[in-house]
């Protein structure tokens, strides 16, 4: 499953990331991590203090990757509306859900200040980044008032996360696409063409 060039700690982190996404914290046993990573118990505990330490490394990696993936369309060319649209319409594995968003539903992750921190920081970063882009659009005369940057950013994040839930519940990515299409229609109603 993993490249022969990956170190044991890297294989352990990647295995934990996948298992957390699929099973959650409680459903991810050290034995399952070791099996998926092709690593022994001694190797796991040589590199990590235990499951919480390894889970934290995996959550941090997942959060970092989500930021990097979101930044590509958000930092791209185009108007504020076009960049937000590119973020909303980018390719996703909708039926798997968001690897960061799913952690918010894991009681063990949320109960741990340390494990919750990268999740909270990432979602805060995303809202802040989107609010900044909406503000850029307002400043450029691209959006008509009243458009609240913070509220709009929160609505974008809520639509994406809720779209994942709807898609998983229905077993179809169509529910996600419908939610995103509805939000884009609302944004388009406040969008003006800037000469």
User: Coil, strand, or helix at residue 191?
Assistant: strand
Contacts 24+ apart (CB under 8 A), 10-15: 11/37, 11/38, 11/39, 12/37, 12/39, 12/43, 12/44, 12/47, 12/48, 12/54, 13/54, 13/57, 13/58, 13/61, 14/58, 15/39
Running DSSP on this structure, what letter comes out for residue 75? T
**Residue keyed to tokens 């003006």:** 192
Distance CA 187, CA 140 (A): 15
pLDDT digits 0-9 by tens, 149-189: 999 999 999 999 999 999 999 999 999 999 999 999 999 98
Q: Do 55 and 20 contact (CB within 8 A), yes or no?
A: yes
Listed by start position, the domains of the chain span 8-189
Q: What superfamily does domain 8-189 belong to in CATH?
A: Tetracycline Repressor, domain 2 (1.10.357.10)
**Residue keyed to tokens 């960061």:** 100
pLDDT digits 0-9 by tens, 57-106: 999 999 999 999 999 999 999 999 999 999 999 999 999 999 999 999 99
């Amino acid at each position: 499953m993993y490249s022969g060039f990956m170190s044991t700690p890297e294989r352990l982190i990647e295995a934990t990331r996948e298992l957390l996404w699929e099973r959650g914290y409680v459903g991810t046993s050290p034995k399952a991590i070791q099996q998926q990573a092709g690593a022994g118990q001694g190797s796991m505990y040589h590199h990590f203090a235990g499951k919480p330490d390894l889970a934290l490394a995996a959550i941090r990696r997942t959060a970092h990757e989500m930021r990097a993936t979101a930044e590509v369309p958000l930092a791209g060319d185009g108007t504020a509306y076009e960049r937000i649209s590119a973020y909303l319409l980018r390719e996703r594995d909708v039926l798997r859900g968001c690897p960061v968003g799913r952690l918010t539903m894991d009681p063990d992750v949320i109960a741990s200040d340390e494990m919750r921190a990268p999740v909270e920081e990432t979602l805060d970063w995303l809202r802040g980044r989107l609010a900044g882009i909406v503000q850029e659009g307002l400043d450029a005369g691209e959006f008509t008032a009243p458009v609240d940057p913070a509220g709009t950013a929160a609505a974008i994040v809520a639509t994406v996360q809720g779209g994942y839930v709807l898609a998983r519940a229905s077993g179809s990515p169509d529910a996600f696409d419908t939610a995103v299409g509805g939000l884009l229609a609302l944004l388009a109603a406040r969008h003006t063409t800037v000469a």
